[in-house]
Amino acid sequence: MQERIGLKLGEFFDPIYTRDPDGIPFFKMLINGEWFFSVSKKMIDVDTPIDGSVIARVSNATRDEVERAIEVAYGSKPKIRNIPGIERIMIFEKAAHLIMKYKDDFVRTLMLEAGKPKRDAEGEVRATVDRLMLTMEEARKIFGEYIPGDWSDDTTGKIALVIREPVGVVVAISPFNYPLYIASAKIIPALLAGNTVVSKQSSEDPITLLLFARILEEAGIPPGTLNMVTGSGELGDYLVPNEKVAAINFTGSTNVGRRIAKTAGLKKLHLELGGKGMAIVLEDADLDLAAKRCVEGSLKNAGQRCDAISAVMVVESVADEFARKVVDEVRNWKHGDPRDPSVKVGPVINLVAAQRIQGLVDDAKEKGARLLAGGSHKDCYFVPSVIYDVPLVARIAWEETFGPVVTIMKIKSEDEAIEIGKKSRYGLDSCIFTNNFYKMWKVAKRLETGEVTINDLPRHGVGYFPFGGSKESGIGREGIGYSIEEMTQLKTIIFNLEPAGLGKAKKVYL
């Protein structure tokens, strides 16, 4: 009989959960500095995609509890605003050290609840620590600016300070694919800018973020400034329209993003939505480099990345050679149980996701694409796949794959690739492989995407470079400093200097 997968945590995390007689942990929520179970007494199972077993349960919050979290956050605004900025930075630096101290707990949890191979789980933890340590640089975006008025006739004798202020209560709603990093990249700049936060993580893998909340609590974030609610997706319907919420920071599907935009009302919206990352490989490209990077961009994190490469357009003259190199490279990406250190591609998040990917691959085959590798799944494990000569009528040519599939399409030139890109409803990321400067510039300028990478795969990383979408891929930009701009509002303070005789006198020129 196979031993049941169990989630083991250090005693530091004891306050946030209890265990049932079978040893399964039941996790609490955090509101106003108190860890507690929902009064509904309803729990949601957290399954591991490794074998489908239940590794934990989390509370399913009620509408009243969600509204209480918002009320607490609204009333706690002075607590975070009254902390000097340098002390907020010190809190985050302490949190970074605490995460490293309990790194093994975070890595194990990510492996179990999200099915991440160990190297990917460790990378996500490192990225979160890096984001915490970069808050000093990020804070510079809060500083504001001074505007002398004597450069315009109607403001001579005046000066202005343009300052950034927190918007208030920020609701952070995060997806399953990077349960620690994406959520933390919303929470950190929101708190750094002086906002309070109500956070809701995907019910597929909510545990790691609860561990992060415990870290911030220990690091010194005041009670009530960060509140965590867990539960089903309908909690968003209670969070989004609430009038005491000033901003919504959401990462997820375009369909949900549309619903948020319709129901949010007069709030700041920061939406990172779906993507169809396209790679363009031209005839003069380094094909070894292109094949290696396109495979990595398609298979990393089992393809479950908003910045993943989910379509590769290759000029016909080099397409066959490129496809052979891709197949050879895919063989280096071992798939299987993520607890095996040699595995690079673990399971997708659940069986429904695996079946959806299967449907996309089967549709492409039915419409004439050639399957060169993989093409099937067992439970949540989708074999790394390569489909070649994919026609434009195939669904996978246009739909977000979010799975470990390298989709190769033939094109005649970069002009055709640009036209295909323009027809896409998405506009998040793209990349081009070429050694011709003029072609790379032409493609980069004409593609309607938020980010274009030259001779490498798109990767957002810690957000040192800003990223975000156009068209149906979202609103706003994330990144070091740029996230701050999304979670603050400008205030202009104008000083009339004339009463003190300090303003520059106007002169009349004939």
Rama region for 293: left / alpha / beta (φ>0; ψ in -120 to 50; rest):
alpha
Measured between alpha carbons, how far is 180 from 106 in angstroms, rounded to an integer?
A: 9
Query: At a CB cut-off of 8 Å and minimum separation 6, what does 249 contact?
Result: 170, 171, 172, 173, 186, 190, 270, 486, 487
Q: Say which of 294, 306, 380, 431 is annotated catalytic.
A: 306
Is position 124 annotated as part of the catalytic site?
Answer: no
Q: Two tokens at 370?
A: 């050639």
The C-alpha angle with vertex 479 and arms to 473 and 484, in degrees rounded to 5, equals 105
- Please name the amino acid found at residue 245: V
**What's the rounded Cα separation, in Å, for the pair 378 and 309?**
23
Residue 375, token pair as written in the block:
């093409």
| Alpha-carbon torsion (357, 361, 367, 369), positive or negative | positive
51-77 exposure pattern, b = at least 16 Cβ within 10 A, e = fewer: eeeebbbbbbbbeebbebbbbbbbebb
Task: Provide the pairing of β-strand 247-251 with 169-174.
Answer: parallel
DSSP string over 104-121: HHHHHHHHHHH---HHHH
- Joined together, the tokens standing for residue 97 give 């050290």
431 is catalytic: no
Does residue 373 sit in helix, strand or coil? strand
Query: Nearest 5 degrees, angle CA 259-CA 275-CA 404?
Result: 120
Coil, helix or strand at residue 140 = helix
Contacts of 509 (CB under 8 A, 6+ apart): none
Is-contact 390 369, C-beta < 8 A? yes
How far apart CA 79 and CA 436 sit, in angstroms, is: 55
- From 113, 204, 272, 399, active-site residue: 272
CA-nearest of 297, 299, 303, 295 to 322 is 295
Residue 148's CB is within 10 A of a number of other CB atoms, namely 12
Residues with catalytic annotation? 272, 306
